[in-house]
């Protein structure tokens, strides 16, 4: 749809200008309007403690953040931009300096004192450390006003400012030209390695008012300097789009339209008021929409709706304009560059562009993203409203770096730890974080390691595994066979602690023999994913039976758990067990013990963060059965299910970055494992033989410290009916 303007576009007068006039005296103006002064001492904020994050270490000498402070309350745009959580962790722009090309900066102002360096003065001899016009101080304070319990709070309150005075006391170039000033400024900025240069000034003409061939002539030296900085590690030029109420941005903010190589190092900024409505003053993005972004610039009535910021002489006042919007973007870049110290300014600018959006924005004609097309919104707001929180979050997919040349998706990386370990792994690694990267520009982030290590819901069964006994007579010698999913374990034995899982990818084969009053059984399953061998010898007498056995198991995964992605692992386990059952007429008592060990380690160590988990475990059971009359029986079981005795986990984790080279740093960790609150189970069962062929069964149970986790409990109940035909 056609987007209409509320006020008429200015007349095009560029054809009246003589090239010689433009060469010697470009018609320039600072973008901001005038504002009222007034200020003084303000009450201090309360203080909170900062915290660290991935690749970023807060400046410990910097004042902690308080969202309830008066100075923050006087900077409502920051709260609206969602910056509070990031100030809470200590983000401030500390260590990043931004060049401000303007009317100079009052370096003695309480908001900026001690953080302004003089870059040069082309309108006098102040080195840029004084401001006779007031515009540069206002801009610099929006960008970097101190967290000092007075006045306002800057977007990047810890950032430094290098002031380049290019505007005179009237906000003009005077006798200077961009061809003289800009090459010298860009050369000095390069020597200082400044990552961002804020330009809150613009020509009164739009980018399409003058053709490329003319620009080649009138901006020859400027353009040469711009092309020299347009490199991957070069600074980002942030430009106010202009206050001409025009459909296009001003000339310099739109230069990538004619010179595409400048685009990655260029940002044009249009303004919105506090309600995110397009003010009448702002130029629109137009042909610059690909590198154009929107930020708070104040309302049309600047004396009541302008951005409140510093003025020379420790005073404060309001101004509106795209001049005020530009330092919001420059300050945001400073935050990004502090947060991601290995990131280039180009990358930081790209993050701002790709995360900007149109939510809440309203054009002067009433267009919103819900009412109009994206193309309509882009023509006005470019890529949309700056969204710093999204720019500080991962963009695209996130991956875990296993080595310098191998990564795996974060969403596919998980280690579900077996219940036998309880919460020991999580306790050992509590507070430990690891570094991950996003797919947009390799930005580093920290994630909690324990969030990727849930505890398995599997619980060791208190009933036998699925059994298959073709003969029904254990006195016979012979082979036992069972299909995948069934285990041919003797159903005559109690042996609840020795039941082996039927989870295998191969059929079972076994052999049972009898010699004297002893029985022996061996079962194996030679699968691809799992190989199991389990042996047992038992002896039966008139009033007792005893058994002893052992087993080994190799599993291409985690027993009773799950491992994938960056935690891929295989397990080797072995165990021994023994038990006895004594019968006294219809009474019986059963006692058994199990001891085992498991070692988890990856089949391909170069593709896993997990080096090893080595642990030993045990289990015990005491059971009692007694008659209740002639046809009923009561059973009571006290079980200590398999639980960790001792162990250790060893990992090699990505924990930071080499800022100079952007490479991931790894560190080996080895932690002991232990549980303090072992699970205990009590089960009560009741059986009743109502007829010769019909049995009724009921059982209830309770687990205390379920899964070896203090305070957790689990209750169970079972009812059954067995009919023999």
Q: Say if residue 720 is exposed, middle or buried (CB neighbours under 10 Å; 0-12, 13-18, 19+).
A: exposed
Q: Rounded to whole angstroms, how far apart are CA atoms 666 and 239? A: 40
- Of the CA atoms within 13 Å of residue 21, those in its CB half-sphere come to 7
Nearest Cα to Cα of residue 323 among 29, 649, 592: 29
Please say if the pLDDT value at position 195 is more than 70. yes
Task: Indicate the range of 35-39, 186-190, 700-704 predicted with least confidence.
Answer: 35-39
Q: Rounded to whole angstroms, how far apart are CA atoms 254 and 259? A: 9
Please say if the pLDDT value at position 562 is more than 60. yes
Q: Rounded to whole angstroms, how far apart are CA atoms 652 and 669? A: 6
Q: Rounded to whole angstroms, how far apart are CA atoms 715 and 639? A: 14
Strands 236-240 and 266-272: parallel
pLDDT of residue 481: 55
Q: Rounded to whole angstroms, how far apart are CA atoms 135 and 264? A: 28
Residue 75 tokens read as 């900077």
The angle, 0 to 180 degrees and rounded to 10, between the axes of the packed helices 220-229 and 178-192 is 20
Residue 573 tokens read as 């386990």
Please say if the pLDDT value at position 342 is more than 50. yes
Domains of the chain plus CATH, in order, are 62-391 (3.40.50.200), 396-460+560-725 (no CATH), 462-532 (no CATH)
Band of the pLDDT at 44, cuts 50, 70, 90? very low
Please say if the pLDDT value at position 469 is more than 50. no
694 or 55, greater pLDDT: 694
Asked if residues 317 and 35 have their Cβ atoms less than 8 Å apart, the reply is yes
Please say if the pLDDT value at position 693 is more than 80. no
Average pLDDT value for residue range 579-595:
88
Q: Rounded to whole angstroms, how far apart are CA atoms 318 and 306? A: 5
302 or 53, greater pLDDT: 302
| Placement of tokens 């009033």 in the chain | 543
Most confident among 25-39, 276-290, 408-422, 488-502 (mean pLDDT): 276-290
**Residue-wise pLDDT tens digits, 283-329:** 999 999 999 999 999 999 999 999 999 999 999 999 999 999 999 99
pLDDT of residue 485: 58
Nearest Cα to Cα of residue 571 among 620, 615, 535, 506: 615
Q: Rounded to whole angstroms, how far apart are CA atoms 291 and 382? A: 7
Please say if the pLDDT value at position 187 is more than 90. yes
Cβ-Cβ contacts under 8 Å for 278 (sequence gap 6 or more): 270, 272, 284, 361, 362, 363, 364, 380, 381
Band of the pLDDT at 486, cuts 50, 70, 90? low
**Residue-wise pLDDT tens digits, 209-244:** 999 999 999 999 999 999 999 999 999 999 999 999
Average pLDDT value for residue range 25-44:
37
Asked if residues 689 and 717 have their Cβ atoms less than 8 Å apart, the reply is no
Give percent of the chain with pLDDT exceeding 90. Answer: 59
SS3 516: coil
Helix (H), strand (E) at residue 136: helix 135-144
Please say if the pLDDT value at position 478 is more than 70. no
Please say if the pLDDT value at position 35 is more than 70. no
Residue 653 tokens read as 């984790």
Q: Rounded to whole angstroms, how far apart are CA atoms 472 and 34? A: 100
249 or 676, greater pLDDT: 249
438 or 510, greater pLDDT: 438
Average pLDDT value for residue range 270-284:
98
Please say if the pLDDT value at position 361 is more than 70. yes
Other CB atoms within a 10 A radius of the CB of residue 324 amount to 32
Please say if the pLDDT value at position 419 is more than 90. no
Nearest Cα to Cα of residue 136 among 112, 101, 172: 101
**Residue-wise pLDDT tens digits, 74-101:** 999 999 999 999 999 899 999 999 999 9
Please say if the pLDDT value at position 413 is more than 50. yes
Question: Over the chain, what is the mean pLDDT?
Answer: 86
Q: Rounded to whole angstroms, how far apart are CA atoms 725 and 722? A: 10
Q: Rounded to whole angstroms, how far apart are CA atoms 650 and 667? A: 11
Q: What is the side-by-side order of every strand in the sheet holding 196-199?
A: 116-121, 160-165, 97-102, 196-199, 236-240, 266-272, 292-296
pTM, to two decimals = 0.81
Please say if the pLDDT value at position 166 is more than 90. yes
In this structure, is the dihedral angle defined by the CA atoms of residues 128, 132, 135 and 139, taken in order, positive or negative? Answer: positive
Average pLDDT value for residue range 474-502:
53
Q: Rounded to whole angstroms, how far apart are CA atoms 244 and 652? A: 58
SS3 107: coil
**Residue-wise pLDDT tens digits, 432-448:** 888 889 999 989 888 88
Q: Say if residue 160 is exposed, middle or buried (CB neighbours under 10 Å; 0-12, 13-18, 19+).
A: buried
Band of the pLDDT at 584, cuts 50, 70, 90? confident
pLDDT of residue 488: 55
């Amino acid at each position: 749809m056609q987007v209409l303007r509320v006020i008429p576009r200015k007349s095009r007068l560029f054809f009246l200008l003589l090239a010689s006039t433009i060469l010697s005296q470009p018609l320039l103006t600072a973008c901001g309007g005038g504002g009222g002064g007034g200020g003084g001492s303000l009450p201090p904020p309360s203080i909170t403690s900062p915290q660290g994050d991935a690749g970023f270490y807060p400046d410990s000498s910097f004042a902690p953040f308080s969202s309830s402070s008066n100075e923050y309350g006087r900077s409502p745009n920051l709260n609206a931009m969602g910056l509070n959580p990031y100030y809470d962790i200590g983000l401030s722009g500390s260590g990043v300096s931004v060049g401000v090309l303007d009317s100079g900066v009052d370096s003695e102002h309480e908001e900026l004192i001690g953080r302004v360096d003089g870059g040069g003065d082309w309108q006098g001899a102040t080195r840029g450390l004084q401001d006779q016009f007031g515009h540069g101080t206002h801009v610099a304070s929006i960008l970097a006003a101190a967290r000092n319990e007075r006045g306002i709070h800057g977007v990047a309150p810890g950032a430094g400012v290098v002031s380049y005075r290019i505007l005179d006391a009237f906000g003009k170039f005077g006798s200077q030209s961009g061809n003289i000033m800009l090459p010298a400024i860009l050369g000095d900025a390069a020597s200082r390695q400044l990552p961002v240069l804020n330009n809150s000034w613009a020509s009164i003409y739009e980018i399409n008012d003058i053709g490329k061939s003319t620009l080649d002539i009138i901006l020859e030296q400027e353009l040469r300097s711009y092309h020299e900085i347009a490199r991957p590690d070069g600074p980002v030029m942030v430009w106010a789009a202009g206050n001409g109420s025009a459909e296009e941005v001003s000339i310099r903010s739109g230069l990538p339209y004619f010179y595409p190589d400048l685009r990655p190092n260029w940002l044009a900024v249009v303004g919105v008021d506090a309600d995110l409505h397009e003010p009448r003053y702002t130029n629109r993005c137009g042909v610059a929409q690909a590198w154009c972004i929107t930020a708070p610039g104040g309302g049309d009535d600047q004396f009541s709706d302008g951005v409140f910021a510093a003025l020379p002489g420790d005073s404060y006042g309001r101004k509106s304009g795209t001049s005020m919007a530009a330092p919001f973007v420059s300050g945001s870049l400073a935050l990004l560059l502090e947060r991601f110290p290995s990131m280039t300014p180009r990358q930081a600018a790209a993050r701002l562009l790709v995360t900007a959006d149109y939510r809440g924005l309203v054009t002067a004609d009433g267009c919103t993203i819900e009412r109009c097309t994206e193309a309509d919104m882009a023509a006005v707001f470019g890529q949309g409203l700056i969204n710093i929180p999204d720019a500080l979050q991962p963009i695209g997919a996130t991956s875990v770096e296993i080595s310098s040349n191998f990564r795996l998706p974060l969403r596919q990386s998980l280690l579900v730890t077996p219940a036998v370990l309880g919460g020991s792994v999580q306790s050992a690694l509590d507070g430990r974080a690891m570094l991950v990267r996003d797919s947009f520009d390799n930005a580093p982030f920290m994630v909690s390691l324990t969030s990727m290590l849930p505890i398995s819901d599997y619980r060791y069964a208190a009933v036998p595994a699925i059994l298959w006994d073709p003969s029904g007579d254990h006195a016979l010698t012979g082979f036992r066979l069972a299909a995948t999913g069934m285990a041919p374990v003797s159903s005559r034995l109690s042996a609840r602690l020795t039941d082996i899982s039927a989870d295998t990818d191969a059929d079972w084969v076994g052999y049972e023999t009898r010699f004297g009053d002893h029985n022996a059984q061996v079962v194996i399953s030679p699968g691809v994913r799992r190989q199991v061998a389990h042996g047992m010898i038992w002896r039966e007498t008139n009033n007792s039976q005893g058994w002893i056995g052992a087993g080994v198991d190799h599993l291409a995964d985690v027993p009773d758990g799950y491992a994938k992605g960056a935690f891929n692992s295989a397990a080797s386990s072995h165990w021994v067990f023994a038990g006895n059952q004594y019968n006294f007429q219809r009474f019986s008592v059963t006692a058994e013990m199990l001891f085992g060990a498991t070692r988890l380690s990856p089949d391909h160590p170069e593709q896993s963060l997990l080096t090893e988990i080595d642990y030993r475990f045990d289990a015990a059971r005491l059971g009692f059965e007694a008659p209740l009359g002639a046809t009923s029986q009561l059973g009571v079981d006290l079980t200590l299910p398999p639980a960790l005795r001792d162990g250790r986990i060893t990992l090699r984790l990505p924990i930071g970055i080499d800022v100079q080279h952007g490479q991931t740093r790894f560190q080996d960790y080895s932690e002991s494992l232990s549980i303090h609150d072992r699970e205990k189970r009590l089960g009560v069962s009741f059986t009743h033989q109502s007829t010769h062929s019909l049995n009724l069964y009921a059982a209830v149970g309770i687990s205390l410290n379920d899964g070896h986790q203090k305070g957790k409990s689990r209750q169970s109940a079972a009812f059954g009916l067995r009919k023999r035909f």
